[in-house]
Amino acid sequence: MKVLVTGASGQLGVDTVAVLERKGHIVLGCDRHQLDITNLEQCQQVLGKFAPDVVIHCAAYTAVDAAESDVDGAYLVNATGSRNIAVAAEAVQAKMIYVSTDYVFDGQSMIPYHEYDNTNPQSIYGKSKRAGEILVQTLSSRYFIVRTSWVYGLHGNNFVKTMLKLGQEKPNLRVVHDQKGSPTYTVDLAEFFAELMLTEKYGIYHASNSGSCSWYEFAKEIFKQANQVAAVEIIAQLEPCTTEEFPRPALRPTNSVMEHMSIRTNGFVDIHDWSKGLNVFLQNYYNQNKK
């Protein structure tokens, strides 16, 4: 299939392009210099020329805290940009995968969120991504909305890399213990995209690695596995703290855990446990650093 990937230089985009190429698809990966998603005419021109069968829309404004003071910027990319891609994709009759987020929920549920639970985003980032969802649902006749959470990969900055660095530098580390979610390895998510796009099982999906943990528990597992995989010496003593003790401009969901009901009911195999995804990432990370 011919697949166009937006945000191709981001941590999810890079791995999505790589996974699709490895599977033999014809892929056009576009970063912001090759495709300005905020420019409707350019979106129509690029998609019209390439004529993809599928568009995987990874490009997004993801600076959660910065979005609180850059409201127009967040909506320009996440809402208007997503509208432009949806319009251009529909014109060439392409399927569209829109990558969304756990931040569309308020995080107050006591149980994991289902795909069709009511959304109630609390941050500008979450509201702008929800706006993108609505526009895609309105303008595309062949859409998959894939909500994910706590994403990390080999390319770009993320929590795992930060913890590995600080764990070897700081004697003490305080990590939030009252926010719960599902860490997601980019390659595992890209593999799901590659499977999903071959179908016509349109709708909303929650896709993360299975299982859940707090940020504190995630950090503990990162340190444990880094030592097992590469004999990394971690000097930091981990200490749990509350969200109130670590204030940020944007509200974080207390509960980010999402049920994978659509994956199950549509006959897909669920994505493996987050600790297994972390193990594969760490092996790749340290193998890459050896080269």
Q: Which of the residues are catalytic?
A: 125
The C-alpha angle 253, 256, 258, rounded to 5 degrees, equals 150
Q: Please report the beta strands in the chain, taking only residues with DSSP state E, as ranges in sequence order.
A: 2-6, 26-30, 54-57, 95-101, 143-148, 151-152, 172-176, 180-181, 184-185, 203-206, 213-214, 237-241
Q: Of 62, 61, 67, nearest to 249 (Cα)?
A: 67
CB 209 within 8 A of CB 150: no
Amino acid at 229: V
Q: What are phi and psi of 42, to 5 degrees?
A: -70, -40
Q: How far apart are CA 13 and CA 11, in angstroms?
A: 6
83: enclosing H helix or E strand: helix 82-91
Give how far the C-alpha of residue 230 lies from the chain's centroid of Cα atoms, to the nearest Å: 26
Q: Of 94, 81, 91, nearest to 131 (Cα)?
A: 81
